[in-house]
Each structure stands twice: as structure tokens, then as C-alpha cells.
Amino acid sequence: MAYKITDTCISCGACSSECPVNAISQGDSQFDIDAASCIDCGNCANVCPVGAIVQE
């Protein structure tokens, strides 16, 4: 089950640098997680300052 970034994302980029497989990238209005690349480690969710990353 991959993680996803919700609309509460503030585009701070903290999650992107924590992803060991580079599954997170800047989208048009917020960061996005490539579900096919996500390994469900949870690193991104643990560092998100606004709790915008949840498991799908």
C-alpha cells in the first residue's frame, strides 16, 4: 500500500529528501508520490510537518 500526499501539502520539500527510492517529486501545486516506486517505508510521513502524507 503506497503513501500519498494530500491537499494539505505546503510544498516544503522535507519529504522528497527523505525518500530512499526518489519516488517523490514536485508536482504542479504540491509534491507527488509515484505509487509504483513507493516502497512503503514511511520516511516521508514521519518528516512531514503538517501530516499531509497518508497511506492509501
Q: Is pLDDT above 90 for 56? A: no
pTM of the predicted protein model: 0.90
Contacts 24+ apart (CB under 8 A), 7-11: 7/52, 8/50, 8/51, 8/52, 9/50, 9/52, 9/53, 10/49, 10/50, 10/52
DSSP 5-55: E-TT-----HHHHH-TT--EEE-SSSEEE-TTT-----HHHHH-TT--EEE
Domain boundaries, the chain: 3-55
SS3 4: strand
CATH class of the domain whose range is 3-55: alpha beta
> How many percent of the chain have pLDDT more than 90?
96
